[in-house]
């Protein structure tokens, strides 16, 4: 027995339509499928009671995300970005070709840009900044020369 593949990254959202607009229309994820789940065995798997959720699967560049909207029991949190040193999932990262142009476009869409994180590293000729999705999940935008399919430092 072995692990076959990574299937998806789950992101809890408070408003599915708003999040679909953000991930599809602004970040270029493509729609794959929808799944509606209620009761058992989801209650046990998710360790929640009275589960009623809608999951939307999107994909970009071979990475699949699962947007989860809980009609019941609802969501937790206030939508503030988590500190980067908090254990667990910290962010998604996207390579971009024109950071300033993209930030201007996202600003017109009222996307939250974490302006204090906007940096440029002359050593790597790379710029980066964090934005957040509508529920505070960090998205790193990186503009750098070279092959965008290669990991940093490779």
In terms of domains, do 67 and 15 share one? yes
Q: Specify the pLDDT at position 150.
A: 81
Q: Specify the pLDDT at position 149.
A: 82
The total domain count for the chain is 2
Is 68 a member of any domain?
yes
Q: Specify the pLDDT at position 148.
A: 83
Strands 126-132 and 113-121: antiparallel
136: left (phi > 0), else alpha (psi -120 to 50), else beta? left
Chain segment 104-143, per-residue pLDDT in tens:
999 999 999 999 999 999 988 899 999 999 999 999 999 9
Q: Specify the pLDDT at position 154.
A: 63
In terms of domains, do 107 and 57 share one? no
Q: What angle do CA 22, 128, 111 make, to 5 degrees?
A: 25
Q: Give the model's confidence band at 9: pLDDT under 50 very low, under 70 low, under 90 confident, else very high.
A: very high
Q: Specify the pLDDT at position 133.
A: 97
Chain segment 49-79, per-residue pLDDT in tens:
999 999 999 999 999 999 999 999 999 999 9
Domain that residue 122 falls in:
92-143
CATH number of the domain within which 23 lies = 3.10.180.10
Is 118 a member of any domain?
yes
């Amino acid at each position: 027995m072995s692990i076959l593949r990574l299937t998806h990254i789950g992101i809890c959202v408070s408003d599915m339509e708003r999040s679909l607009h953000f991930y599809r229309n602004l970040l270029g994820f493509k729609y794959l499928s929808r799944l509606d789940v209620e009761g058992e065995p989801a209650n046990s798997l998710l360790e929640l009671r009275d589960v009623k959720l809608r999951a939307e699967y999107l994909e970009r560049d071979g990475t699949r995300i699962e947007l989860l909207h809980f009609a019941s029991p609802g969501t937790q949190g206030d939508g503030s970005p988590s500190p980067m040193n908090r254990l667990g999932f910290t962010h998604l990262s996207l390579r971009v070709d024109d950071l300033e142009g993209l930030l201007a476009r996202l600003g017109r869409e009222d996307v939250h840009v974490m302006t204090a994180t906007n940096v440029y590293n002359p050593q790597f000729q790379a710029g980066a900044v964090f934005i957040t999705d509508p529920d505070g999940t960090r998205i790193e935008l990186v503009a750098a020369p070279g092959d965008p399919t290669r990991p940093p430092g490779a």
